[in-house]
Amino acid sequence: MSRIVAREMVMKYIYGLDINNNWDEDREKLNSDSVFIRDFLEENEEIDEKDLIYMNNILMGMSHNLEEIDNLIESNSKDWKLSRFSRIDLSILRLSVYEILYIEDIPHQVSITEAVRLAKKFGSKNSSKFINGILGGIVRSLGIDS
């Protein structure tokens, strides 16, 4: 499996947690079962260990840092509350912000480019510009070179 597919799967899982309001309930599952993502796969795809580790690290880390991630997104969204965001856009943003903050081996520009790609594939007509703007603002506010 490629990182692109792994990233899409993680975004879909984040979306599902958000739609079902299961962040707290699934936190226990995320912490207790390091290979839980296998159950999320609907097809019997072969999961490469590197991608499995990536997916688990994102979801476990995100469950512990969700408040910080959401605060950063909201503070860079020009007076928008998270409740106004489409759930897809918010899921993509959460994933990308987590990568930017916590995964050192993924360049920030790659995280932003992949978020824009996900927005074009899964979001609305304006999602990619919206997401690109917020992520650019986050990177600038953190003083990070993208």
Higher pLDDT, 134 or 59: 134
| The CA-based dihedral angle spanning residues 55, 68, 90, 24, taken in that order and rounded to the nearest 10 degrees | 70
Task: Output the six-digit token pair for 84.
Answer: 């106004």
Tell which residue, 37, 35, 47, 67, has the closest CA to residue 2.
47
| The CA-based dihedral angle spanning residues 6, 96, 20, 37, taken in that order and rounded to the nearest 10 degrees | 30
**Average pLDDT along the chain:** 83
Q: In this predicted structure, what is the pLDDT of residue 35?
A: 44
Most confident of 8-22, 68-82, 118-132: 118-132
The one-letter amino acid at 39: D
pLDDT band at residue 18 using 50, 70 and 90 as cut-offs: confident
Tell which residue, 118, 138, 140, 116, has the closest CA to residue 15.
118
Higher pLDDT, 111 or 57: 111
pTM, entire model:
0.85
pLDDT band at residue 52 using 50, 70 and 90 as cut-offs: confident
H-state helical runs in 1-146: 3-19, 23-32, 37-40, 49-75, 87-102, 108-122, 127-141
